[in-house]
Amino acid sequence: MWLGPEEVLLAGALWVTERANPFFLLQRRRGHGKGGGLTGLLVGTLDVVLDSSARVAPYRILHQTQDSQVYWAVACGSSRKEITKHWEWLENNLLQTLSIFDNEEDITTFVKGKIHGIIAEENKNEQPQSEEDPGKFKEAELKMRKQFGMPEVEKLVNYYSCSYWKGRVPRQGWLYLTVNHLCFYSFLLGKEVTLVIQWVDVTQLEKNATLLFPECIKVSTRDSELYFSMFLNINETFKLMEQLANIAMRQLLDNESFLQDKSLPKPRKPLKNISALKRDLDARAKNECYRATFRLPKDECLDGHTDCTLWTPFNKMHIPGQMFVSNNYICFASKAEEACHLIIPLREVTIVEKADSSSVLPSPLSISTKSKMTFFFANLKDRDFLVQRISDFLQRTPSKKPCSSDREWKWNLADPGCEEVPELPSSSPLAVSPTSALSSRPVNFCAGEVPTASQGLLKLFRRNSEELLGPKGAKEKMKEESWNIHFFEYGRGMCMYRTAKTRELVQKGIPENLRGELWLLFSGAWNEMVTHPGYYADLVEKSMGKYNLATEEIERDLHRSMPEHPAFQNELGIAALRRVLTAYAFRNPTIGYCQAMNIVTSVLLLYCNEEEAFWLLVALCERMLPDYYNTRVVGALVDQGIFEELTREYLPQLSEKMQDLGVISTISLSWFLTLFLSVMPFESAVVIVDCFFYEGIKFILQVSLAILDANMEKLLQCCDEGEAMTILGRYLDNVVNRQSVSPPIPHLHALLTSGDDPPLEIDIFELIKTSYEKFSNLKADDIEQMRFKQRLKVIQSLEDTAKKSVVRAVSSDIGFSIEELEELYVVFKAKYLMSCYWGNNRAAAARRDQSLPYLEQYRIDMEQFKELFISLTPWSCGAHTPVLAGRLFRLLDENRDSLINFKEFVTGMSGMYHGDLTEKLKVLYKLHLPPALNPEETESALEATSYFTEDVTTEETQEDKGRRNENGPEKEEKGTSPQDYKYYLRMWAKEKESKKETIKDLPKMSQEQFIELCKTLYNMFSEDPVEQELYHAIATVASLLLRIGEVGKKFSNRPVRKSEDCKANNTQDPVSEEESPTSEQSQNSAVEQQPQADHEDKTCDDAQPEKTQQENQTLGDGSGEGQGSPLQLLSDDETKDDMSMSSYSMVSTGSLQCEDIADDTVLVGCEGSSSAARFRGNLHSRRSLA
């Protein structure tokens, strides 16, 4: 490419001049091309180690003048062809012009101006997106593609200088991290190291330091462990590798995320020395952290953040921290953990104004909300720009009606028997409650069918309890008063200051009247609900009356959801649960419905109305417990791995014992999936849910550790898994909530409590307090890091399970060994994944359905199959191989969806590798019949297709027809008798029996199809040492088959002597025309004579209808059923292909056409024409005598 002229002082250092003229030099860098010796090796090594190969192309053109010692680089090229093109342009366009100049300075000025003009013209034609990445990075990307053979769609994210440890020897080189691959290249004194690893194959990433290796990154795959060290910034490199591996795992887990990750957003401002893709991935990581910290919707994108201070009125201090601004929210997080968190939705903001600066409080900013709260920020850098950004976002924010300040509970009951519940007064004059927005528009879904409450079911079904008037009622009132005081000091609603005081109140238990409201706030579900008004009602309307697999599972589990609670012992609670679960299944069909969702949703409905419960379920499934409720419960398995890791760290004595017993994998799924709701008494488990919505999965893990710690001594003495499960079950069954005002609900695990000694009760609040005291140093960031590590392990383990399942399913019918099948599966899957991220369209990713069986999840199309076939087939046919691959694909694609799965793929491969000679010949034969043979590949393939689809079915013998007619009524009778199960068992047994296809089952082959078969056979032996001998053999066998077919055809025509009399005086028999010497004439005559043959058949049919019927019955068992022959009297539908004769008459003698036939080749069947004529003359004379 052309370069902006750069000054070069030493033109000969490390370069060799290949061409020269008075004004220009063309040079090649030492170490490139042929030769070079020791100097070339040294230069090549320096280029790799110092990365000069990323900046210096192997060829360049310099401008020079005779008296000057200064050279100017004007062009460079990665290949001789590219640089020669530039050189020729200079010679043709500039040399003559430059010779006119007298002053050398004028020559140099002219050349520099001309080159700048060329570059400007090229840049004008280029797309703007090509300027996203800096020039140095582009050159590195080009080098990466050339070095590793990557296509242009494979994007480089970043590259780093490092050492790869091969044994105990470090190889200095360059590590290239692309979207889908990890690549490494090193060249040291002639020794080259090239590594290419797909991210989907990475099973473990670790950053560690050992005595043998310095601080290094360990990359593990199923087959190897690779160590990379000596990074300038190892933390940045490792973080990027984690991101890319995590994206790859998401691709394996969920196709939708794969499609999103494939197209990344463009940066606003290009930065130096950083690729656009790297900036986008950094922004993606920041967005994920931002959303997780403040529990924001999944589509919220961080615009920027800045350091500042926040004035907190509750303690009258300026707290240092960071302000985060995004499209719809302003958030604040203090530097001291849990000092203060704040979320201000822009929909609530009324005024943003700059206050007067002072030396004590520089650059202040005040933000006022609809709830009369004002937030005061200070020490803002670039305050004017920040205010402008917030103003821009405010203008895009849709205006909302202000929420009512009163907390109203309204009911919409169709049941006249239900009493109206009075409205509850507001707890605070400044309160803005999440439920107040709904109170103005009561929800009524399908009121004609069942009554629906617009509030939590617990209010409806609370039995009159004396506890409300006793000490427990007083305790509940005290809790409510504590929260009211907190609301007064810290605010209420979304804009509440969230501090350590808030967490203390949550740990003491949320009052039942406030539980639904605070769950919505702490989970972030309130934000999604108010920004999507009417969304749930629309979903319910769309989903009602529709049935699929998810709705069937929901119906099955409805009455298993807290059956002991009175709210779900009647149609009101069951109907509400059905609507919420069905609506979510329609919102998120990839999850649909998973067991345990019914238990969690039933508890949400006790404290929230339907719409609130729906949005809480959304927050739970999609943000707080990601991937928990899919078909493979990947998220729960990931957190189970974290739990095992934490057990090893905090309870090392117990860890090994629990591992031996296999208890953790059993208990953790039931604990995590249902948030302890299925293993603890309801009154206690709901307190766990309170803390979970505030703290997240961190709290579930620390409570689980506290439970194991409390039972350590007993668990260490266990002998088997059952005993350990019994101990933990009894412990959890006796975790009680003595402060609950609700009457106790019978717990299913009470059956585990046995023995004479009364069980020891454990107070839930003491358990929570212990968990914070012993395990509170768990950090959310650490858990996210551990989640990544475990996700790699879990998803790769699931992929291994899928591979074993698929291999086991196909191994019984395939000739390959288990090891060979596993290797083929890896190759097959890699080809599928390659099409996903290198294909031009997204159809490859779209065709993978996680709900399908493992065998059907990976499927490839014809182009991918051709690539695999060419690299794996033992039948190499040279240039004919892709044609053969396409035919085999069509043969294997039984359901005609243009995709084949792994079983179909290995079935085809097995036939070629492990079938006996007969099986291989059958496969080869089928490859030249429809549907394998394309209609375009032969002239009469369309006729042959119609022949095989219509006529083959009619070629069953009279005996078969009779047997079918006899069995027909019996089958109908059996079908109408469901009691006769023995018949169905016999029928299923027959279906399971493997029906082996015999040679007799194969359809007949037409003339052109046999020609294609002969071509394929010849191509198989091309470039063989005995190619000529093999070709002579093929020609000889083909000729013999033709002669046999001709003779068989004559004999098959003899019984129909009388039917020939009606056309004895007609023109020449079409059969004789098929025996012309050249194949081209043969094909033309066959096509021309077909209408004539049809007309003759019809004439005979009209003349002798009775004879024709008898003769057709006589010929039913014969093999001579060629449609084009006038010797047979068939219907019009059966006279479509005059090429098919008898089962032997596949092709006429002279029709074998092969352009590559040698001059010395002799076709054996050349006399067939004359002998056939003599035979036909005798036949006519005998018939005339008769």
1064 or 710: which carries more pLDDT confidence? 710
Cα separation of the two ends of the chain: 90
Please compute the mean of the pLDDT values over residues 933-955 and round it to a whole number: 47
Phi-psi region of 346 (alpha: psi -120 to 50; beta: other; left: phi over 0): alpha
Question: Given this model, what pLDDT does residue 1125 score?
Answer: 38
pLDDT value for 1052: 67
Burial class of residue 617, CB neighbours in 10 A (0-12, 13-18, 19+): buried
Structure-block tokens of residue 167: 């044994």
User: What pLDDT, on the 0 to 100 scale, is given for residue 474?
Assistant: 86
The stretches of 812-940 forming alpha helices (DSSP H) are 818-838, 843-846, 854-857, 862-872, 881-892, 902-913, 917-926
Bridge partners, residue 329, by sequence: 345
Give the C-alpha distances (Å, rounded to integers) separating 174 from 166, 205, 715: 14, 19, 51
Residues forming a β-bridge with 374? 368
Confidence of residue 835 (pLDDT cuts 50, 70, 90): confident
The residues, any chain, with a CB within 8 Å of residue 342's CB and separated by 6 or more, are 310, 331, 332, 375, 495, 497, 498
Residue 855 is predicted with a pLDDT of 82
Condensed to tens digits (0 to 9), the pLDDT of residues 419-453 reads 333 333 333 333 334 443 333 334 444 433 444 55
Q: Strand pairing partners for 197? A: 182
Tell me which of 199 and 1118 has the higher pLDDT.
199
Q: What is the 3-state secondary structure (H, E, C) of 975-1018?
A: HCCCCCHHHHHHHHHHHHCCCCCCHHHCCCCCHHHHHHHHHHHH
Average pLDDT of 154-163?
A: 89
Q: pLDDT (tens digit, 9 = 90+) per residue, 694-735?
A: 999 999 999 999 999 999 999 999 888 889 999 999 999 999
Q: How confident is the model at residue 203 (pLDDT cuts 50, 70, 90)?
A: very high
Cβ-contact 899, 893 below 8 angstroms: yes
The pLDDT, as a whole number, for residue 464 is 54
Q: What is the pLDDT of residues 4-40, one digit of tens each?
A: 888 876 666 678 888 888 888 888 877 665 555 555 5
pLDDT tens for 762-801 read: 999 999 999 999 998 888 889 998 999 999 999 999 999 9
pLDDT at 976: 39
Residue 308 scores a pLDDT above 90? yes
Contacts of 95 (CB under 8 A, 6+ apart): 21, 23
Q: Which of the two residues, 802 and 1173, has the higher pLDDT score?
A: 802
For residue 492, the model assigns a pLDDT of 92
Assess contact for 735 and 768: CB atoms under 8 A.
no
* Weakest-pLDDT range from 79-93, 226-240, 843-857, 1137-1151: 1137-1151
Say how far apart CA 253 and CA 247 lie, in whole Å. 10
- Mean pLDDT check: name the lowest of 253-262, 548-557, 673-682, 989-998: 253-262
541-546-548-551 Cα dihedral, nearest 10 degrees: 60
Higher pLDDT, 33 or 304: 304
Task: Give me the amino acid identity at 785.
Answer: Q
Q: Is a pLDDT exceeding 50 seen at residue 1165?
A: no
Report pLDDT for 602: 94
Measured CA to CA, the distance from residue 934 to residue 324 in angstroms comes to 62
Q: Are strands 317-326 and 329-334 parallel, antiparallel or unpaired?
A: antiparallel
pLDDT of residue 1028: 86
Average pLDDT value for residue range 168-187 = 88
Distance CA 319, CA 664 (A): 42
The per-residue pLDDT for 758 is 65
Residue 1169 banded pLDDT, cuts 50, 70, 90: very low
Check residue 12 and give its pLDDT: 64
pLDDT score of 155 more than 90: no
pLDDT one-digit tens code per residue, 852-869: 788 888 889 899 999 999
Check pLDDT > 50 for residue 1102. Answer: no
pLDDT tops 50 at residue 123:
yes
Q: Which two tokens stand for residue 1055?
A: 């019984």
Q: What is the mean pLDDT of residues 917-939?
A: 81
Residue 669's pLDDT is what?
84
Residues β-bridged to residue 332: 323, 342
Q: pLDDT higher for 113 or 1132?
A: 113
522: left (phi over 0), alpha (psi -120 to 50) or beta: alpha
| Interatomic CA distance for residues 689 and 680, integer angstroms | 12
Q: What percent of the chain has pLDDT over 90?
A: 31
Residue 130: what are its φ and ψ, rounded to 5°? -70, -15
pLDDT (0 to 100) of residue 425: 34
> Mean pLDDT across the stretch 1094-1120?
38
E-assigned strand segments in 24-70: 24-29, 59-63
Residue 467: is its pLDDT beyond 70? no
- The alpha carbons of the chain give a radius of gyration, in whole angstroms, of 41
The yes-or-no verdict on residue 968 having pLDDT over 60 is no
Across 809-820, b (16+ Cβ under 10 Å) vs e yields: ebbeebbbeeeb
**pTM for the full predicted model:** 0.72
CA–CA dist 516, 606 (Å, integer): 9
Q: Write out the H or E segment, with its range, that includes residue 191.
A: strand 191-198
Residues in a beta bridge with 208? 216
Question: Which helix (H) or strand (E) is 808 found in, with range?
Answer: helix 780-811
Residue 480 has pLDDT above 80, yes or no: yes
- Confidence band, pLDDT 50/70/90 cuts, at residue 242: very high
Question: Cis peptide leading into 931, omega within 30 of 0?
Answer: yes
Q: What rounded mean pLDDT belongs to the chain?
A: 75
**593-644 pLDDT per residue, tens:** 998 899 999 999 999 999 999 999 999 999 999 889 888 889 999 999 999 9
User: Each residue of 19-33: b (16+ CB within 10 Å) or e?
Assistant: eeeebbbbbbbbbbe
For the four alpha carbons of 498, 502, 504 and 508, in that order, the dihedral sign comes to negative
- Minimum mean pLDDT among 664-673, 871-880, 979-988: which range? 979-988
DSSP structural state of residue 212:
S
pLDDT in tens, 997-1025: 677 778 888 777 888 888 888 888 877 78
Determine the pLDDT at residue 928: 86
Q: Kindly tell me if the per-residue pLDDT of 1098 is higher than 60.
A: no
| Element holding 712 (H helix, E strand) | helix 712-716
pLDDT of residue 336: 85
pLDDT score of 804: 92
Local confidence band at 458 (pLDDT 50, 70, 90 cut-offs): confident
- The pLDDT of residue 638 is 93
Q: Could you tell me which residues come within 8 angstroms of residue 392 by beta carbon, excluding any fewer than 6 positions away?
A: none
